[in-house]
């Protein structure tokens, strides 16, 4: 489903990624680990088209997304890719269900509410749908952001330290949810994490060191 070929990225003369090759199969849950500053978020951003590599290719569903125009890349990003961040990045003035609908509205799908409600129900948040983020717990906020990531039926979901800001019980629930979503909906996940429980649960664990994948 997703391939990275010889990805290089430097910032201000600092070579962060020095030739990353990887491939992710449909319905895999893959974790990415490595020391702080190793380049995990940089890699996730490149794989997710939030940034472009200096050299190398990112290929999603047989399309070389890293060489698309910004406009085409934005629509691939919105329609094919879901993101979950450490700090959920929900809009504070919108309710849970409104937040979940936003990527669908951007796509031009005005009928997203039924799907959003279905996702919130699967994620155990049906009764919280009209709450604003400030009225939800950290774990609930993060589950809203999972629903938002799934609203457009993405091919792949990238999560960057998704449980980094959660207490251990909420983190465990979130981790279990990723595998439930894979098992029930066939969702593919690539997850950057420092959480060794989550990293170990994944189908594969990739480690980045010195700008390359070492294991
Ligand atoms: P990790 O996610 O493994 O902690 P990052 O990918 O965030 O690592 O960062 C890797 C290195 O690249 C760090 O030295 C960081 O300071 C640098 N870096 C990341 N993004 C930028 C940027 N936009 N501008 C300059 N340097 C950056």
CATH number at residue 96: 3.40.50.300
- Pairwise CA distance, residues 128 & 150, whole Å: 18
> What is the best residue among 9, 14, 39 to mutate for testing ligand 1's pocket, by most ligand atoms within 8 Å of CB?
39
The alpha carbon of 163 and the centre of ligand 1 are apart by a number of angstroms equal to: 20
Ligand 1 atom at minimal distance to the Cα of residue 160: 2
For residue 210, the model assigns a pLDDT of 87
Q: What is the pLDDT, as a whole number, of residue 152?
A: 93
What's the pLDDT at 110?
A: 82
Tell me, yes or no, whether 58 lies in a domain: no
C-alpha of residue 68 to centroid of ligand 1, in Å = 24
pLDDT at 203: 95
Instruction: Enumerate residue ranges in the chain where pLDDT < 50.
Output: none
Closest Cα to atom 16, ligand 1: which residue?
A: 37
Task: Identify the pLDDT of residue 120.
Answer: 96
Residue 82 lies in a domain: yes
The reply to whether 170 falls in a domain is: yes
Establish if 7 belongs to a structural domain.
Answer: no
pLDDT for position 194: 92
Tokens at 79, concatenated: 């329609």
Cβ–Cβ under 8 Å, residues 144 and 99: yes
Residue 61 forms part of a structural domain: no
Q: Is 81 within the bounds of a domain?
A: yes
CA 42 to centroid of ligand 1, rounded, Å: 6
pLDDT at 111: 84
- Structural domain including 187 reads 27-52+69-213
Domain count, the chain: 1
Cα distance between residue 138 and residue 121, in whole Å: 18
Pocket of ligand 1 (CB under 6 A): 11-12, 14, 16, 34, 36-42
């Amino acid at each position: 489903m997703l391939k990275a070929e010889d990805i290089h990225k430097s910032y201000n003369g600092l070579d962060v990624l020095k030739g990353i090759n990887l491939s992710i199969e449909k319905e895999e849950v893959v974790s990415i680990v490595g020391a702080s500053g190793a380049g995990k978020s940089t890699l996730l951003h490149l794989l997710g088209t939030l940034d472009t590599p200096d050299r190398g290719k990112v290929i999603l569903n047989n399309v070389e997304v890293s060489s698309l125009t910004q406009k085409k890349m934005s629509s691939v990003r919105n329609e094919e890719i879901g993101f979950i961040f450490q700090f959920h990045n929900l809009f504070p003035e919108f309710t849970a269900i409104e937040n979940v609908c936003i990527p669908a509205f951007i796509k031009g799908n005005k009928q997203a509410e039924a799907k959003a409600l279905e996702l919130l129900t699967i994620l155990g948040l049906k009764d919280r749908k009209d709450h604003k983020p400030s009225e939800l717990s950290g774990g609930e906020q993060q589950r809203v952001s999972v629903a938002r990531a799934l609203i457009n039926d993405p091919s792949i979901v990238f999560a960057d330290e998704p449980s980094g800001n959660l207490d251990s019980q909420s983190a465990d629930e979130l981790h279990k949810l990723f595998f439930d979503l894979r098992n029930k909906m066939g969702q593919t996940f690539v997850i950057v994490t420092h959480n060794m429980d989550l990293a170990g649960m994944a189908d594969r664990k990739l480690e980045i060191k010195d700008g390359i994948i070492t294991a």
